[in-house]
Structure 1
Amino acid sequence: MRHIAIIGSGPAGYYSAEAAQKKYGDDVTVDIIDRLPVPFGLIRTGVAPDHQSIKAVSRRYEKTALGENVHFVGNVTVGTDVSIEELRSLYDAVILATGAPNDRPLTIAGSELPGVIGSAAFVGWYNGHPDFADLNPPLDGKSIVVIGNGNVALDVARILSKTEDEFAGSDIVAHALDQLRHSKIEKITFLGRRGPYQIAMTPKELGELGHLDRAVPIAASEDFPAEEEDAALEPGVRKSVGHLRSFLPNSGEETGKPIAIEFDFFAMPVAIEGDGKVEKIIVEKTQLDDEMRAQATGETYSLDCSVVISCIGYRTPPIDNVPYDEGQGRFANVDGRISPGLYCVGWARRGPTGTIGTNKPDGFAIIETVAEDIGDGGGKAGRDGLNKLFNDRAVEAVTFRDWKKIEEAEVANARIGAPREKFTDIEAMIAARKP
Structure 2
Amino acid sequence: MNSIKLFFSQRKLWTFGRSRHTSPLLKDLGGCGRSFSSSYCPKVCIVGSGPAGFYTAQHIIKARQDVEVDIYERLPVPFGLVRFGVAPDHPEVKNVINTFTQTAKHLRCSFYGNVNVGMDVSVSELQQAYHAVVLSYGAGGNRCIGVPGEDLAGVYSAKDFVGWYNGLPSCQELSPDLSSDTAVILGQGNVALDVARILLSPLDILKKTDITQPALEALAESRVRRVLIVGRRGPMQVACTIKELREMVNLPGTRPEMVAADFQGVTEALKGLPRPRKRLTELMLKTALEVPGETEQERRRNASRSWGFRFFRSPVEVLAEPNHNRVAGIRLAVNQLEGSGDGAQPVLTGEMEDVSCGMVISSIGYKSLPIDSSVPFDSRKAIVPNSMGRVLQATALYCSGWLKTGPTGVIATTMNNSFDTVKSLLEDMDSGTLDVSAPKTGSESIRTLLDKRGVKLITFSDWEKIDNIETARGAACGKPREKLLTVEEMLKVART
Whether these two folds match at TM > 0.5 is yes
The reply to whether residue 342 of structure 1 matches residue 397 of structure 2 is: yes
Following superposition, the deviation at residue 28 of structure 1 comes to 1.6
1:3–1:377 CA contact under 8 A, matched in 2: no
The reply to whether residue 385 of structure 1 matches residue 445 of structure 2 is: yes
Q: Give me the whole-angstrom Cα distance separating, in 2, the residues matched to 1:293 and 1:135.
A: 34
What does residue range 115-194 of structure 1 map to in structure 2 within 5 Å? 115-194=154-233
Match of 1:323, SS? Answer: coil
TM-score by length of 1: 0.97
What does residue range 408-423 of structure 1 map to in structure 2 within 5 Å? 408-414=468-474, 415-423=476-484
Give CA-to-partner distance per residue, 1:277-335, whole Å, 9 cap, x none. Answer: 01110011000012510011110010011110000011101122211112211111122
Please name the residue that 1:235 is paired with: 275
Q: Give me the whole-angstrom Cα distance separating, in 2, the residues matched to 1:147 and 1:204.
A: 20
Match of 2:332, SS? Answer: strand
1:219–1:244 CA contact under 8 A, matched in 2: no
Match of 2:326, SS? Answer: coil
Following superposition, the deviation at residue 388 of structure 1 comes to 1.3
Unaligned runs of 5+ in 2: 1-40
1:118–1:309 CA contact under 8 A, matched in 2: yes
Q: Give me the whole-angstrom Cα distance separating, in 1, the residues matched to 2:410 and 2:281.
A: 20
1:252–1:259 CA contact under 8 A, matched in 2: no
The reply to whether residue 262 of structure 1 matches residue 302 of structure 2 is: no
Give the residue type in structure 1 aligned to 2:45. A
Following superposition, the deviation at residue 45 of structure 1 comes to 0.1
Q: Give me the whole-angstrom Cα distance separating, in 2, the residues matched to 1:176 and 1:416.
A: 15
Q: Give me the whole-angstrom Cα distance separating, in 2, the residues matched to 1:252 and 1:221.
A: 21
What does residue range 231-380 of structure 1 map to in structure 2 within 5 Å? 231-248=271-288, 249=291, 255-274=301-320, 275-290=324-339, 291-319=343-371, 320-338=373-391, 339-371=394-426, 372=428, 373-380=433-440
Following superposition, the deviation at residue 377 of structure 1 comes to 4.3
Give the residue type in structure 1 aligned to 2:285. R
Following superposition, the deviation at residue 434 of structure 1 comes to 3.0
More helix by share: 2
Q: Which shifted more, 389-398 or 253-262?
A: 253-262
Q: Give me the whole-angstrom Cα distance separating, in 1, the residues matched to 2:437 and 2:85.
A: 35
In 2 relative to 1, CA 431–238 (structure 1 residues): closer, same or farther, beyond 3 Å? Answer: same
Q: Which shifted more, 84-93 or 365-374?
A: 365-374
2:242–2:279 CA contact under 8 A, matched in 1: yes
Q: Give me the whole-angstrom Cα distance separating, in 2, the residues matched to 1:52 and 1:135.
A: 24
TM-score by length of 2: 0.85
Give CA-to-partner distance per residue, 1:348-388, whole Å, 9 cap, x none. Answer: 10001111011222222222222313243431110111111
Q: Give me the whole-angstrom Cα distance separating, in 1, the residues matched to 2:274 and 2:209.
A: 32
Q: Give me the whole-angstrom Cα distance separating, in 2, the residues matched to 1:226 and 1:45.
A: 36
What does residue range 26-105 of structure 1 map to in structure 2 within 5 Å? 27-105=66-144
Following superposition, the deviation at residue 253 of structure 1 comes to 10
Following superposition, the deviation at residue 241 of structure 1 comes to 1.2
2:389–2:400 CA contact under 8 A, matched in 1: yes
Q: Give me the whole-angstrom Cα distance separating, in 1, the residues matched to 2:483 and 2:266.
A: 48
2:255–2:300 CA contact under 8 A, matched in 1: no
1:214–1:257 CA contact under 8 A, matched in 2: yes
Q: Which shifted more, 151-160 or 169-178?
A: 169-178
Q: Give me the whole-angstrom Cα distance separating, in 2, the residues matched to 1:357 and 1:197.
A: 23
Q: Give me the whole-angstrom Cα distance separating, in 2, the residues matched to 1:378 and 1:297.
A: 64
Q: Give me the whole-angstrom Cα distance separating, in 2, the residues matched to 1:147 and 1:170.
A: 26
Following superposition, the deviation at residue 66 of structure 1 comes to 0.4
The reply to whether residue 208 of structure 1 matches residue 247 of structure 2 is: yes
Following superposition, the deviation at residue 258 of structure 1 comes to 1.3
Following superposition, the deviation at residue 256 of structure 1 comes to 2.1
1:92–1:377 CA contact under 8 A, matched in 2: no
Give the residue type in structure 2 aligned to 1:284. A
Q: Give me the whole-angstrom Cα distance separating, in 1, the residues matched to 2:487 and 2:493.
A: 10
Match of 2:458, SS? Answer: coil
Q: Give me the whole-angstrom Cα distance separating, in 1, the residues matched to 2:189 and 2:310.
A: 13
Q: Give me the whole-angstrom Cα distance separating, in 2, the residues matched to 1:260 and 1:148.
A: 17
CA-atom RMSD in angstroms: 1.5
Q: Give me the whole-angstrom Cα distance separating, in 2, the residues matched to 1:226 and 1:322.
A: 46
Q: Give me the whole-angstrom Cα distance separating, in 2, the residues matched to 1:434 and 1:3.
A: 27
In 2 relative to 1, CA 118–226 (structure 1 residues): closer, same or farther, beyond 3 Å? Answer: closer
Give the residue type in structure 2 aligned to 1:280. G
In 2 relative to 1, CA 105–226 (structure 1 residues): closer, same or farther, beyond 3 Å? Answer: closer
Q: Give me the whole-angstrom Cα distance separating, in 2, the residues matched to 1:245 and 1:194.
A: 16
Match of 1:260, SS? Answer: strand
Following superposition, the deviation at residue 390 of structure 1 comes to 1.7
Q: Give me the whole-angstrom Cα distance separating, in 1, the residues matched to 2:330 and 2:465.
A: 46
1:271–1:283 CA contact under 8 A, matched in 2: yes
Give the residue type in structure 2 aligned to 1:16. T
Match of 2:46, SS? Answer: strand
Match of 1:81, SS? Answer: coil
Following superposition, the deviation at residue 168 of structure 1 comes to 4.2
Match of 2:70, SS? Answer: strand
* Higher-Rg member (1/2): 2
In 2 relative to 1, CA 169–353 (structure 1 residues): closer, same or farther, beyond 3 Å? Answer: same
Match of 2:191, SS? Answer: helix
